[in-house]
């Protein structure tokens, strides 16, 4: 099969953008292909031409979200800093995205929580978790060696706590609670996780030594 032309790629982006906008406001089960076509100014057959089926459309959206999350993590990880500093930046970026790209964040949450979508894409959350573990596990290993965290800290547990706190905030937003009433402080959030795991709150050698560090 030949590669899609630039025009075909643009059309796909328009269709995915329409789906993201709808998914941020209603559940998957309430979204029809006709509604998507109307929102992006195309015909329903055009959507089937590009994605084959409703499932194919949601799989493409899931892949788009996965790629966005992956690029965002790469950009953050490439910056110098301790594990704590990187986790703080990840939390801060997610909070910023709620204001900058609310529809995409809401679509991401819907892909995780909407049971109708999970019936079509049952491994999306596993793929996101696996990708994050692959990218961040080396940072946890460096943090163990530097004494920033204890040697028995489980990266999967830390990331689950990290995303659980952020996702709880996004869900509040989705239910109409004003952002200003629930906006968390990224540093306080990460320090709370660190203290719960018995790790230093300021983040090892680059963040400054303090009592209560991983070795203390």
Q: What pTM does this model have?
A: 0.74
Taking 70 as the threshold, does the pLDDT of residue 183 lie above it? Answer: no
Sign (positive/negative) of CA torsion 40, 45, 47, 50? negative
Taking 50 as the threshold, does the pLDDT of residue 203 lie above it? Answer: no
Closest to 148 measured CA to CA, from 187, 198, 103:
198
Domain range annotation of the chain:
62-207
Residue 196's pLDDT is 60
Taking 50 as the threshold, does the pLDDT of residue 214 lie above it? Answer: no
Query: What confidence category does residue 176 fall into, taking pLDDT thresholds of 50, 70 and 90?
Result: low
Residue 1's pLDDT is 46
Q: What is the pLDDT of residues 49-98, one digit of tens each?
A: 999 998 899 889 888 888 888 898 899 988 868 899 999 999 888 888 87
Instruction: Count CA atoms within 13 Å of residue 198 on its CB side.
Output: 10
> Average pLDDT of 119-131?
74
Taking 90 as the threshold, does the pLDDT of residue 194 lie above it? Answer: no
Taking 60 as the threshold, does the pLDDT of residue 136 lie above it? Answer: yes
Residue 124's pLDDT is 67
Which class does domain 62-207 fall in?
mainly alpha
Query: What confidence category does residue 198 fall into, taking pLDDT thresholds of 50, 70 and 90?
Result: low
Q: In this structure, what token pair is assigned to residue 111?
A: 């892909």
């Amino acid at each position: 099969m030949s590669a899609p032309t630039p025009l075909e790629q643009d059309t796909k982006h328009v269709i995915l953008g329409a789906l993201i906008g709808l998914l941020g406001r209603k559940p998957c089960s309430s979204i029809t292909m006709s509604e998507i076509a109307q929102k992006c100014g195309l015909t329903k057959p055009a959507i089937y031409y590009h994605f084959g089926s409703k499932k194919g459309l949601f799989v493409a959206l899931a892949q788009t979200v996965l790629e966005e999350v992956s690029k965002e993590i790469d950009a953050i990880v490439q910056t110098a800093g301790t594990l704590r500093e990187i986790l703080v930046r990840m939390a801060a970026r997610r909070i910023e995205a709620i204001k900058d790209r609310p529809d995409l964040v809401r679509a991401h949450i819907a892909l995780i929580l909407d049971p109708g979508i999970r019936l079509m894409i049952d491994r999306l959350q596993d793929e996101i978790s696996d990708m994050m573990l692959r990218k961040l596990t080396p940072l946890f290993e460096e943090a163990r060696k530097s004494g920033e965290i204890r040697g028995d800290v489980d990266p999967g547990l830390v990331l689950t706590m990290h995303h659980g706190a952020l996702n709880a905030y996004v869900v509040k937003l989705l239910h109409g609670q004003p952002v200003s009433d629930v906006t968390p402080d990224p540093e306080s959030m990460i320090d709370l996780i660190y203290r719960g795991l018995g790790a230093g709150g300021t983040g090892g050698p680059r963040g400054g030594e303090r009592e209560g560090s991983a070795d203390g």
